[in-house]
Chains A and B, each alone.
Chain A
Amino acid sequence: MNAIFGIPTQALFGQLLIGLINGSFYALLSLGLAVIFGLLNIINFAHGALYMMGAFGAYFLLTKFGIGYWWALLISPLAVGLIGVAIERLMLARLYKLDPLYGLLLTFGLALIIQGLFHNEYGSSGMSYPVPQALQGAKDVGFMFLPIYRGWVIAVSLVVCFGVWFLIEKTKLGSYLRAATENPGLVQAFGVNVPRMITLTYGFGVALAALAGVMAAPIYQVNPLMGADLIIVVFAVVVIGGMGSIMGSIVTGFGLGVIEGLTKVFYPQASNTAIFIIMVIVLMFRPAGLFGQR
């Protein structure tokens, strides 16, 4: 068998694929953050907590109402998106005229409160959420045993990421959005309801986090801390990709997933730090991030 640096190539392919799966989650989450930051200038620290709420949403739907995974994929993001809308209307909307730092503090505080409430109620070990019937089992793809559900995660994530990119960068609605961030007064003068658009954008970004949460529920334990574990990495992804750059967050999300996957083979102890080392290097040479313009 061929080997690269002492690792069999087959095993290496397996690890690359797994990196891609983790990258899917990074991409989905950083995408929501990038949309919110790029269009609203809010650093949404509550993103991890909202991702966790998405997963809990799926769990509640199943255990309390007997509603399965497929509907949860729709209902949970909608519900969490509505909570997002409420957060934006009631709290964030009051902060737009202030320094972005206030938004950061507010969302950070919210994240701690939400996590604390769930932790108090459900403890730290979390709950199990089953893989949906249709996606159970695994497929032998030659170099590894690929669980069908993981393949599904990659597919959905790619479709959603490029759909969002297309929506914002290539459609008329997207151009309104971008114009509204550049010059809200002017866009309002053309008859567009800018505050409502901003509210919906925040709701949309939050719904993306919840969608990632529902997708994560069958893989990880549904656990109050699941967002806190992930959010730091996701912020690093956004910073490396370039704050607010949609394409940047998608490409870096997948790319860093793969790099992290490789670290887990060559030096597993460092797999939690690899991404931050890359962040330091990128910030030294390109302070605006790989795809950033500002």
Chain B
Amino acid sequence: MFKRSVFVAAYLALSAGAAHAEFSGGVIKIGVLTDLSGTYSDISGQGSVIATQMAVEDFGAAKKGMKVEIISADHQNKGDVASSIARQWYDRDGVDAIVDLVTSSTALAVNQVAKEKNKVALVSGAASSDLTGKDCTPNTIHWAYDTWMLANGTGSAIVKTGGKTWYFITADYAFGHALERDTTAAVEKAGGKVLGSVRHPFPSSDFSSFLLQAQASKAQIIGLANAGADTTNAIKQGAEFGITRGGQNFAGLLVFITDVHALGLNTAQGLIVTTSFYWDLNDQTRAWSKRFFEKHKRMPTMVQAGVYSSVLHYLKAVEKLKADQDGAKVIAQMKAMPTDDPLFGKGRVRQDGRKIHPAYLVEVKKPAESKAPWDYYKIRTTIPADQAFRPEKEGGCPLVK
């Protein structure tokens, strides 16, 4: 079954007399490959398509005489579906760059296809830090966040406040495994101990059995190495089974603002979350998020913010090169130029393909503290850009000499 929806937004070139750049097929074509119908469609999905459109508008492609076209498709969170769409896009439809790629299994699959075809993949949705570790390629940049950032932010913060023993409830695929591995390392480094873990099929709706096993482990902290509806269901059912009343606490290792919105502050209050973007950080993020909200009726997640930022930087690099055919060359240009956008501020892209920016350790507000809809986070600590991500030489990426 190959469900594919295509939204086309063509920004026509003003064919002024200016010197024309050599774009393949005369157009820069960006493909948003994401989850449009499943469990991750709120954190990425249509919102990522909107973020891409906003990036193209804000870049001012039309004014600069660059023709940019956006298409999108639903990969259903399946690696095989994602790689076959990617092949078709790169080979037949003239797509130059694929963005978003939520779900690590799809990102890892497309990562390989992009390298093989020498095109561009800009990952914002997926989390696995392997994308800039052993699986890094000269054709991929990992943008918004990764499992190391989450583990380092949330994991070490919780150990420092006394959560010494951990038990993991882990989604049984590439992302969950990577998040569990990175968090275990962070917890042990901070002096904590991991007592065990249970792996649940992805996606799951009933977590009671796994929660009982976590309860029986007597660990102080139950680490949720999953995302989206899996996380919200686990937290909601944990409240039912008296997890917090029994003295245990949840650590939601990957919680998006849409998850907090879905849970409601009553259930979500007090959760410690690591995020690389929050709409209410400063005037620029507020202004941009307001525009986004008008189009999408939801506040942006860090994935959607990452998609915007990555597309903007990609277009800048292509503008500078005046060419988009050679994927590795475009990526090299993106690494050479510093990044700057209203959402993540100034930053850069490392040799291993990791985009560097600050991360924020936040706490979910109590219902009484929240002044308006979507007013959910208190910033506890800002983790500076050079500490937020795994040091370049520790990832094992062959591109780092």
Contact = CB atoms under 8 A, between A and B. Distances in A.
B263 interface: yes
A140 B228 CA distance: 31
A126 B232 contact: yes
Interface string B194-233: 0000111101111011101101100000000000110011
A85 interface: no
Interface stretch (B157-165, B238-246, B322-330): B238-246
B240 A220 contact: no
B213 A11 contact: yes
A131 B237 CA distance: 11
A223 interface: yes
A125 B232 contact: yes
Chain B contact patch, size range = 35 or more
B172 A269 contact: yes
Given A21-B208, A124-B40, A264-B210, A269 B263 contact: no
Interface stretch (B137-145, B254-262, B354-362): B254-262
Contacts of B201: 268-273
Nearest to B259: A125
B333 interface: no
Assign chain A's interface to a size class: 35 or more
A220 B233 contact: yes
B208 A18 contact: yes
Given A124-B40, A221-B236, A265 B258 contact: no
A83 interface: no
A261 B215 contact: no
Nearest to A126: B262
B42 A124 contact: yes
Contacts of A125: 42-43, 228-229, 232, 258-259, 261-262
A18 B209 contact: yes
Those 9 A-B pairs whose CB atoms lie nearest each other, nearest first:
A125-B262, A264-B209, A272-B201, A123-B42, A124-B41, A125-B42, A147-B240, A124-B42, A128-B264
Interface of A: 8, 11, 14-15, 18-19, 21-22, 116, 119, 123-128, 131, 138, 144-145, 147, 149-150, 219-221, 223, 225-226, 229-230, 261, 264-265, 268-273
Given A123-B41, A144-B212, A264-B210, 4 more contacts: A124-B41, A125-B43, A268-B199, A269-B172
